[in-house]
Each structure stands twice: as C-alpha cells, then as structure tokens.
Amino acid sequence: MIDLFGFGPQLLVGATVTLKVAVTSLVCGLVVGLLGAGAKLSGVSFLRRAASVYTTIVRGVPELLIILMLYFGGGVAVTALFGQHAELNAFAAGVLALTVVFGAYATEVFRASILAVPQGQTEAARSLGLTKAHVLWLIVLPQMWRHALPGLGNLWLTLLKDTALISVVGLDDLTRKAGMAAGSTRDPLTFYSAAAAIYLALTTASLILLAMLERRVNMPVRG
C-alpha cells in the first residue's frame, strides 16, 4: 500500500478491524437467521409472532440508531438485570448491532429458501421413515443454501459496508482511521478515497468468492 504520509499501515489496521467485525457478525447473524426462520415456520404461534415482531422492528429502524441504542443501552440493561454495572465496548456493541440487523434480514432469506424446497421431497422422505431432524439435515438444508446464497451474498455486502457506522461509537475501524488521518493531515479527500478503495477491494473480492460459491452449489442442478 502507498505510505500515505505514514498513515498507510494504520488504514490496514483499520481494515483488519472492519473484517473482524464483519465476519463475526456474519457468523452470528447466520445462526440468528436460521433460528428466526425456524421460529417463523414453527407451529407454535408465540414463536411465529415473536419472530415477526423482531424482523418488523429491526427492518424498520435505521442501523445507526440500533448501534447507538445497544452501545448506550446495553450496559444499562445488564445493570438492571444483574445488578452489576457493565458497559459494552465498541467492538461488542458493533458486532451485536450488526448481528441483530443481519439476522433479521437473513431470517426472511432463509424462510423463503426453505419454502422453495419442493414439499414433495420432504413428504417422500418422511414416508421412508426419516425423522424431522433427518429430513431437515439431509433434504432441506442442502437445497436451501442454493436458494439462499444470492440473498445472503447481498446481505454480506451490505454488512461489510455497514461496519463503517460503528466508527461513531469509537471503534478504530477503517472509516475512523481514515477520519483520524484526514484530521491530522488536513487532506480528507486523499484518505477517504483510500478508504473507499479498500472497501471496493473487499467487496470485489467478496463478489468473486460469492460467484465461485454459487457455481459450486448449483453444479449438481446444472449437471
């Protein structure tokens, strides 16, 4: 990377933090999304309603407000529940907020993907004596990923860019590092352009990887 008045290594450090936040939120968000989709497709009305409330609220509130609410309100909630003062650091608050947001959107992606699996296949598997767990693991999930991957890929790209919002609570991510360098050198255009180039490189690499994954999961269908 170009030295950028000595701030080049700092931008790389910020890019590493950005990737850590994004990948951690992705993994946690996938789990939340699967659980949310299971709740929405559940026969238990309480679970369906709870999942619907969750996705409706999160998708209707700006991500920035969710980050601020969890950062400033997370410690208050822990103190109220356990009687001990606690504060979420910027990394934990960012990961938690992005997990909540990603999980809400992933819930709908997974729900639609599960419904896209032909019901006749699951009925045939049950008629052969497979349990619900086996049908889910052997029939539904392998085919679900093929339908879910394009939507999850778009959510990942959005998640990667939304990490920039966490800089408002003091996390030294790529955007904050670029802002600090811009303030020190009074050359904001250079450093914000450099940050934009790094984000573009990360999203481009992600698009290439997603294209490879889509070809792989669609290979059995294409023969």
- Domain residues of the chain, as ranges? 21-171
DSSP letters for 196-209 = HHHHHHHHHHHHHH
Instruction: Give the Cβ contact number of residue 67 at 10 Å.
Output: 25
pLDDT for the residue numbered 79: 67
Mean pLDDT, consecutive 10-residue stretches, the chain (223 aa), reads 72 94 96 94 92 95 90 73 71 91 96 85 75 75 86 95 91 92 88 94 95 82 59
Q: Which of 48, 47, 53, 94 is nearest to 70 (CA)?
A: 94
pLDDT for the residue numbered 193: 93
Q: How far apart are CA 21 and CA 17, in angstroms?
A: 6
Please say whether the structural domain 21-171 has been given the CATH code 1.10.3210.10. no
pLDDT for the residue numbered 1: 47
CA angle 188, 191, 192 (to 5 degrees): 75
Of the chain, the end-to-end C-alpha distance in Å amounts to 43
